[in-house]
Amino acid sequence: MPQVARASTGAWLGALPGEQRNLVVTVFISSQTRDGAPLDQVFWRTEALTVMARLFGGVTAIDGDGAWRDDERSGAIKVERISMVESFIAKSSWNRETVSELAKFLHRMGREAKQGEVGLIVDGEYFPIREFNK
């Protein structure tokens, strides 16, 4: 969208002025452990919502179905219910402090929820986290 149209659209809508919130951060929340045991997805989704709202100001969770291939286990396909927890943030909100806090949560979730991988998308780039040492 051209800059003039973007500015006009904001004024037409009565949107708050300020830095654009056009950086998208998405975390995937699983419904099961890597071994297929049920997981308290509501707990982890609520934790992600709380952490991301504190760090970025707002967040939304969307539930759906997902599948992934476990290459470390003969390429087994794992199908499950997932939640995508997503924030639209100002680029200035993505900094060393907020990334460090988000990483602590993601690594804790990976360990405690016994995940094979925790998925994070930042601005369209996927970051697979498989070692949970933070």
- How far, CA to CA in Å, does 93 sit from each of 18, 49, 84, 89, 113? 13, 16, 20, 6, 27
pTM of the model: 0.88
Residue 130 phi/psi, 5-degree rounding, is: -120, -15
CATH 3.30.70.120 assigned to domain 22-129? The reply is: yes
d(CA 59, CA 88): 7
Domain boundaries, the chain: 22-129
pLDDT tens-place string over residues 9-47:
878 888 888 888 899 999 999 999 999 999 999 999 999
> Residue 127: which residues within 8 A CB-CB, separation 6 or more?
119, 120, 121
> Residue 71: which residues within 8 A CB-CB, separation 6 or more?
none
57: helix, coil or strand? Answer: coil
Q: Is the pLDDT of residue 1 over 70?
A: no
